[in-house]
Amino acid sequence: MDLKRALGIDPDGGIQLNHSERLIQYINLKLAALGEPVFGTLHDKEFIELARDLIYNHQEKNRLLSNYLCPADQRIQNFINNYFSDTDEECSVRIPSDTFILDHHGIARMLSIPPDQNEYHNGPVSSYRIEQGILHNPKHDRRTTKGVFHVSEGGLPIPDDKKAVPKETFRRILKKALEVPKEIMELPFTASQDEKAYVWTSLLLRPTVVPEVPGYNARKSMEIRFFAPGCLVSNLDFVESIFGNAGDPYLPQNDAALDIDHWTGHTGCVIMAPHLNSLTKKEVGLPPVDNATKRQKRDGMCWKKEDELYNDGQPFKITARTDEGVILTILSDNYFGYSKKEVKTQISFSANLYGNSEEEHAGGALVFPTYDLGDEFRDDNLIPHNGLTFSEMASMYKEIMEEKPEGYAVDKTYPEIRYVPEDIQINLKEQAIRWKKGKKPQTLKLLPDHIYVMPSGYQIRMIKQQDAPFWQLIGTVAEGTFIHKPCTVSGGGKSEISKSIANSIIYGPFFVADIRKDFKLLDEIIKRDYSTRFKDPKRKDDRPFLDPERSMGSVIKLLTPSEKYTDEYNKWLQSIPMYVKGLVFIVKRFYKKEWADNWREHFTVDSVNGKPGNELRLRNHRLYAAYLRVGFEKDGSWRTYKLRQDFVGAHKLQMEDDITASTVVPARELNYLNPDYDNPSVKITENCEYRFFQRPDEAINRGYDKQAEADLAKPNTFISNFQPLTPDDAREIMENAILFDKYTEPMKKIIRKAALNPEGTYFVSSSHPRIVNGKPGKNVRYLQDRSDILNPRERYLAQMGIRLYRKIPADSPVYFPVNTVLPGRRNNPPEPGIRPLAVYNPIHYQELPELFMDFICSLTGKSPSTTGAGSEGALTKAPFNALVP
């Protein structure tokens, strides 16, 4: 994929800004070729005048070929003709042919606001050019699944949870969808001109349906054509930003039928038509109630009064599909979620028809356990080994790395990745990596922006966590676990499982009450005989407290009451103050064997007014405790829990977020799989989205969601359902210094910059949702760039670590099959008239019968984007299924 043309992302991962003179000229040229007015000054129009003969030539060819449709559109038109061939009325419905084609990413965004203005308003949408990119606030700030899904009769069977629509009614609705009122056809790009353009806009998508499995099957996609009247070009900007712009459908290289190795053979069409909500039931051909069938009465497909509106005047989507493999959908609402979900539905349609593939409502991540290595590291058989030596590694992977004379190697793709020998020793304080080549000592500088990879694939980094006041040496294992969370209700944690927990950790000094008394109690804990703590006298564990063979986890278990321990021992444990237990864990975390019994002399406190203070230090270096933020109390204060001293969050590589394509492959067909799993078949997944439609619910709390604040401060970001703020608003926010200081630095920077901007400009703040009916909205959204596209190095490192650990040849693929399936739910607090809907803790165990009851019944809590409870997740993708399950 050409990332620049499809997604507006440069090959180096940078975001392309699209407000340029050249793009305006290109758009003007396309408008002139359609015979529409252009935007601009005399200079712009002089350029069009220069190209007049070229434009006239193009227009004449279009006139001669006025009945010609591009291959994808012809397949859609053929479907329409065949579908209505058995109706009494002659089919006169023809999809738009003379459209403004969005042939690469960025055009739609430029079209959505006049270049000489910073806002545009039309009935369905209000748009603003903001400091961070673009803000689109549609008429409806969220979607609902209630009464929305209508399916035309005459094709494949209609699920019982959908509303069945007579074919003649669908024909009339389709005809009306293409008869668009002039005001909706208005193109925002020229809206500030006396002469305005009124056009259809169109887009080609090629979303993934079957993931690529190297050596087994190629990636396969379907084709989807989107048509939107001019004022809704923002919807096409939205879907192309998620699924990628597939180019001009008239060009042969973009014809799916000429690429049979990568096409499922299925075609989709989506038509935006917000004007349909004013249609009456009678004018679309529905029968009076006396002539209606039982199902028509149930589905509301009949009328008592002639002025009754179709679907009670509420937004809807109506679909026709047959086993020809073509699906056509009309959307009467421009809320962005409907556009995305329709692509999801059509991917699912294609997957179900194609076979051995599935579209899943899932999130997932490849998770690598990560450890705090202390100030010094040497491999004392504490990390997983594969028997590979440095010289063997350098020989096996010479195409990947360049070996240096000193005995280390540099990655040829990412020079900051260094491959080091298996016998290295690392000192964090000295920032030194040492080993011997032969008998000669070698030293390499330990740098914070480098990754050091051992022959076993084990990765070592020097890092400073955000907001942490200290540096750490951390190690990450080579073999990760792919956790896959399918069938999850919106808000149920699909995105969260792939996010780093680091943003929820805060740091503060570690305090003691009285160092002499505390250390006396600490000495008693360390020297105690623990061999008699079990009720069962046969169980023995006489390992010394500070023995290196006893891990931190073992110490935590040792000091945690248990029914396996004697009553006397449990009573003693409960008498230990919690902060003293924390002190014990600190000593255990930093203890070195060479200290022997002299651990006390390494820990001190400052002297304050001639007396011992309370802030603990290690060798005169300040010690810090880490605390995990878990939500808020009713008074708005953070709920925090102290973490163990050696805690480091797992390293995660996001694999899925919402729309996933998956396939199942016999394990025997794939080489070099993880030997720890012996499943006869494996699931391979691929993320269908290149950007994620994120809902940063916690961003309203300043400084809490650091990632969201960083994302919302980036340039050229697609944002929705936030309040457009002015420079005056920015200055007012800054004047409230206490609240302003809670923002993270990226958001502060945006607000400061906005405060200096001229009047008539806009920005958004992460803590200011759109005001809906006088209240802050609850469905703020933005498109988040996929991290593995902006930073492909992390995926490369994951592949390289596994390649080394499993000794996979350089020319063989590395597979990432699903290892663990996690059910999930949303924990909803009680609301007036609604009891709490999630009855379990976030982590719990279920026997298989109960688990499958949970899956089938979807006991997942209330979706914040729907009006119903528990109707969207689990195995109930039903609202978005185009076929009978």
Alpha carbon distances (Å) from 314 to 140, 276, 309, 398:
11, 9, 9, 63
* pLDDT more than 70, % of the chain: 89
Domain spans of the chain, in order of start: 3-88+99-116+148-210+222-275+315-355, 370-476, 508-626, 649-690+789-880, 707-785
- Answer yes or no: is pLDDT of 483 > 50: yes
With cut-offs at 50, 70 and 90, classify the pLDDT of residue 871: very low
Query: What pLDDT score does 830 carry?
Result: 64
Cβ–Cβ < 8 Å for 351, 661: yes
The mean pLDDT of the chain is: 88
Up-side HSE of residue 117: CA atoms within 13 Å toward CB?
17
What's the rounded Cα separation, in Å, for the pair 526 and 544?
8
Up-side HSE of residue 32: CA atoms within 13 Å toward CB?
23
Query: What pLDDT score does 831 carry?
Result: 65
Closest CA to 217 of 687, 662, 803, 675: 662
Residue range 467-491: mean pLDDT, rounded:
84
Alpha carbon distances (Å) from 61 to 54, 58, 174, 476, 879:
11, 5, 29, 61, 44
pLDDT tens per residue, range 229-238: 999 999 999 9
pLDDT tens per residue, range 388-397: 999 999 999 9
**Secondary structure class of 357 (helix, strand, coil):** coil
Cβ–Cβ < 8 Å for 48, 38: yes
pLDDT tens per residue, range 59-96: 777 776 777 899 999 999 999 999 998 876 666 789 99
Q: How far apart, in Å, do the first and last CA atoms of the chain sit?
A: 33
- Answer yes or no: is pLDDT of 840 > 80: no
Query: What pLDDT score does 570 carry?
Result: 94
- Output the six-digit token pair for 527: 């020297």
3-88+99-116+148-210+222-275+315-355, what's its fold?
A: Phosphoenolpyruvate Carboxykinase; domain 1 (3.40.449)
**Secondary structure class of 253 (helix, strand, coil):** helix
What's the rounded Cα separation, in Å, for the pair 612 and 372?
30
pLDDT tens per residue, range 2-58: 888 999 887 665 555 555 788 998 899 899 889 899 898 655 666 677 677 677 777
- Answer yes or no: is pLDDT of 847 > 50: yes
Please give the residue that has the higher pLDDT: either 147 or 813.
813
What's the rounded Cα separation, in Å, for the pair 192 and 39?
9
pLDDT tens per residue, range 688-714: 999 999 988 889 989 988 899 999 999
The letter for the amino acid at 770 is R
- Answer yes or no: is pLDDT of 213 > 80: yes
- Answer yes or no: is pLDDT of 782 > 90: yes
- CB-CB neighbours of 490 under 10 Å: 20
With cut-offs at 50, 70 and 90, classify the pLDDT of residue 534: very high
What's the rounded Cα separation, in Å, for the pair 602 and 612?
15
With cut-offs at 50, 70 and 90, classify the pLDDT of residue 608: confident
- Output the six-digit token pair for 65: 């070929």
Question: Who contacts 273 (Cβ-Cβ below 8 Å, separation ≥6)?
Answer: 176, 177, 178, 180, 229, 330, 331, 332
Cβ–Cβ < 8 Å for 81, 95: no
pLDDT tens per residue, range 339-356: 999 999 999 999 999 999
- Answer yes or no: is pLDDT of 877 > 60: no
Please give the residue that has the higher pLDDT: either 362 or 864.
362
- CB-CB neighbours of 570 under 10 Å: 16
Residue range 731-758: mean pLDDT, rounded:
96
Name the maximum alpha-carbon separation found in the chain.
Answer: 101
What's the rounded Cα separation, in Å, for the pair 285 and 304?
13
